[in-house]
């Protein structure tokens, strides 16, 4: 019981520190959703081998989409004429960072990591997109030169786009509080709980004694992050806990870059949408750039004489305990509907699984007749169509 209390206490502290910044990130995300027209985005991503990639990488940095949520958006942009490189860049920079995860990074990490994370995401996405446009060969998804498409013209206007600013703001904030946080809440609380487990169970020098720093730690966290689904916001408290237990800031950055941008679902969609070569470029760019920026960040901390461990959570101390408690209460209230839906879905899955198990162990099903409808009337000794007694 004492161990469980330590885990919950550590998780509670992380929740209190991060809640004001999560709410701020959701507010900014609502603004982006309300006033950023998807047609204007698509219009800029279909021309140029370099310009389209840079624009896609820059546009993806603030957008609050996770690695699964970004897939339909990227597929839609690709269908509207975005270059293969621009699509790749958008797929990398968008899940690796966002307005919400930047705000949480400020709360739980330190200013240097808060800046390094989106900068690394932007350059990783740009390098991958340019490599794809120059090494990927002819792009079969592009419109022919003699009949250039106008990317974004076919996209329907967002519902309510013609409404006034106040109404659009209200709809954007409603989207952030319901749809966006509904997708993020389960993963965020999972990340907070895992961070509590790391804080409560592992000794302070665990990673220094057993794994070390530098490239071995980076490769370990890279291997852990590549196949798993870890959204950018949920990975932040876990990265903070790892740093406190001895992981170097560069290794933590590798996890923050590789985890959100890759998982088995993303790789499957990439193979179907962009092909094997583009998928290989995508993964190679993430692996190479993650290790490169992780090494640079470690050198930067060492050169500046900054302790990443000492800076963890320092920025959250500027907010009073009453404000942090109120923000945590608001965040928990917003989390009730998605968590209830998740619990209901899990319950339905368990009931369905139990029903299938009972059916497999129970009596054989009644024989069905051979008619096209399989109505079972013949097997019951009645003529088809006759009413039941």
- Cα separation, 100 vs 44, in Å, equals 24
Report the pLDDT value the prediction gives residue 135, as an integer from 0 to 100: 77
Q: How far apart are CA 91 and CA 72, in angstroms?
A: 10
Degrees (nearest 5) of the Cα angle 162, 166, 168?
A: 45
Taking the C-alpha atoms of residue 162 and residue 333, their distance in angstroms, rounded to an integer, is 31
The pLDDT of residue 37? 65
Q: Where are the domains of the chain?
A: 2-319
Helix, strand, or coil here: 8? helix
Residues 6 or more apart from 102 whose CB is under 8 A from it? 25, 62, 114, 117, 118
136 contacts 281 by C-beta, under 8 angstroms: yes
Q: What's residue 119's pLDDT?
A: 95
pTM value > 0.85:
no
Residue 183 CB burial class (10 angstroms; 0-12, 13-18, ≥19) = middle
Per-residue pLDDT tens listing for the chain (389 residues): 678 888 888 888 888 888 888 888 888 888 877 877 656 666 667 667 788 899 889 988 888 776 666 777 777 777 777 788 888 888 888 888 888 888 888 888 889 999 999 999 999 999 999 998 887 656 655 443 333 344 444 444 555 555 678 888 898 889 888 888 887 788 888 888 888 888 878 777 677 676 666 788 899 888 888 777 677 777 888 888 888 888 889 999 999 998 888 877 778 777 877 778 888 888 898 999 999 999 999 999 999 998 888 778 777 767 888 998 999 999 999 999 988 988 888 888 888 877 777 765 555 555 554 444 444 444 444 444 444 44
Task: State residue 374's pLDDT score.
Answer: 43
* Burial classification of residue 57, based on how many CB atoms lie within 10 Å of its CB (0-12 exposed, 13-18 middle, 19 or more buried): buried
Which is nearest to 97 in space by CA: 129, 139, 137, 60?
60
Q: To 10 degrees, the CA torsion angle through 186, 192, 195, 199?
A: -140
pLDDT for position 198? 83
Cβ partners under 8 Å of residue 81, min gap 6: 42, 45, 46, 141, 142, 143, 149, 150, 151
Structure tokens at 257: 């870059």
Nearest residue to 11 via CA among 233, 193, 189: 193
Q: What is the pLDDT of residues 316-358, one digit of tens each?
A: 767 888 998 999 999 999 999 988 988 888 888 888 877 777 7
Task: Determine the pLDDT at residue 313.
Answer: 72
CB 314 within 8 A of CB 244: no
């Amino acid at each position: 019981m004492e161990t469980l209390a330590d885990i919950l206490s550590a998780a509670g502290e992380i929740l209190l520190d991060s809640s004001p910044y999560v709410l701020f990130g959701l507010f900014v995300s609502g603004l982006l959703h309300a006033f950023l027209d998807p047609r204007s985005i698509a219009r800029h991503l279909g021309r140029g081998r370099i310009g389209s990639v840079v624009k896609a990488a820059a546009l993806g940095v603030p957008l609050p989409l996770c690695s699964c949520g970004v897939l339909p958006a990227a597929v839609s942009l690709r269908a509207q004429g975005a270059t293969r490189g621009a699509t790749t860049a958008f797929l990398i920079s968008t899940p690796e960072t966002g307005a919400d995860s930047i705000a949480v990074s400020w709360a739980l990490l330190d200013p240097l990591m808060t800046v390094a994370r989106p900068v690394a995401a932007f350059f990783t996405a740009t390098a991958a997109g340019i490599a794809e446009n120059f090494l990927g060969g002819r792009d079969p998804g592009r419109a022919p030169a003699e009949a250039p498409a106008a990317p974004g013209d076919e996209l329907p206007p967002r519902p309510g786009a013609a409404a006034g600013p106040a109404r659009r703001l209200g709809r954007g904030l409603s989207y952030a509080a319901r749809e966006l946080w509904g997708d993020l809440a389960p993963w965020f609380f999972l990340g907070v709980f895992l961070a509590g487990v790391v804080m409560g169970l592992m000794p302070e020098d665990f990673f220094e004694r057993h794994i070390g720093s530098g490239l071995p730690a980076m490769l370990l966290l890279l291997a852990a992050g590549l196949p798993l689904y870890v959204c950018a916001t949920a990975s932040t408290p876990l990265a903070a806990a790892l740093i406190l237990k001895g992981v170097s800031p560069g290794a933590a950055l590798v996890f923050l870059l590789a985890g959100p941008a890759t998982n088995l679902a993303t790789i499957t969609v990439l193979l179907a949408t962009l092909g094997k070569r583009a998928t290989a470029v995508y993964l190679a760019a993430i692996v190479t750039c993650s290790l490169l920026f992780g090494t640079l960040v470690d050198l930067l901390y060492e050169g500046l004489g900054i302790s990443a461990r000492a800076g963890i959570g320092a920025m959250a101390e500027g907010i009073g305990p009453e404000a942090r408690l109120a923000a945590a209460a608001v965040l928990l209230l917003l989390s009730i509907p998605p968590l209830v839906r998740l619990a209901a879905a899990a319950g339905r899955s368990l009931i369905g699984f139990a029903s299938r198990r009972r059916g497999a162990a129970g009596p054989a099903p009644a024989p069905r007749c051979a008619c096209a409808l399989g109505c079972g009337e013949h097997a019951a000794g009645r003529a088809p169509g006759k009413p039941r007694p």
